[in-house]
Amino acid sequence: MVIILRIYQHIIVNMIEGVWNIKWWGAAGSLAGIVIITAFCTGVWWKNQNLKKEYQILEIKRTSEEEKYREMAQALEKNRIQIHDIKNHLLLLREFAVKENYDELKQYLNEVWGEYTATKGKMWTQNEVLDTFLDKKMQEAEMEGMEFQIEADVLRRVPLTKTELCVLFGNLLDNAIEACRKIQVGKKKISVKISRKKNFLFIFIANTIQERPREKKGELVSDKKNAELHGYGLKSVKQIVEKYGGTFQYEIKDNQFEVHIAFLGDER
């Protein structure tokens, strides 16, 4: 661009000094060319800035999602450690029973049971990662007075990685919890259904809403201050669904928002 501008400057100088005899329409044409090239370069620069901004936002989202996965991994590790310690607990309980020290036996059982129930989550799909994540989200929702229902088939394996499971369910359930927080009057309810029929995996998540969310060109628009940041949750979900050739749809029915996801393929 600089070279072109220098050439054009050289042409203008020579025209003024009378060295070159160029007609006005030629000069106008060259100027128009410069304007077009400048506009094109400006458009490329603007697009590059938008892509850079989008990349930064995705990096922020990825960091947040990785943090969620680390928290879940810690919970899983705590469960594994507890299972590993069961052998030692049983040995000590057996020793109390042999010595007929029932008071110590009862006290120790209460302590072990308290630790166990504090970390042992519910099992719906038999997929350790997914069940742990669902259990944490259920606890989060119920602590805020929301009704949280889960119906699920037993899934030996799913066509997603552990991180992708966290990203997909994390974004969808975070959105559902956030929508329920806005409800001033009425039921706050979240429903999760996970089912497998032959080679299809279906995921259904619904939540009650205060008012219909805004849409623009068939896409949901966040009403938060940092709308550009919060709008990438569903984009992350759609990327995962598209990666595995799945389908993603959402519906708004009266006071309920629904997400329908389907994957086709053999279990991994």
What residue segments make up the domains of the chain, in order of their start? 1-120, 122-268
Between 119 and 86, the more confident residue is 86
Query: What is the reported pLDDT for 230?
Result: 43
Given a contact cutoff of 8 angstroms between Cβ atoms, the answer to whether 128 and 76 are in contact is yes
pLDDT in tens, 25-81: 555 666 677 677 778 888 888 888 777 776 666 666 666 666 666 666 666 566 665
Alpha helices by DSSP H, listed for 21-124, are 24-98, 102-119
Bigger pLDDT: 185 or 233?
A: 185
Rounded to whole angstroms, how far apart are CA atoms 15 and 37?
A: 22
Look at residues 220, 226, 214, 232 and name the one whose alpha carbon lies nearest to residue 259.
Answer: 220
| Of the listed ranges 10-14, 74-78, 228-232, the one predicted with least confidence | 228-232
CATH architecture of the domain 122-268 equals: 2-Layer Sandwich (3.30)
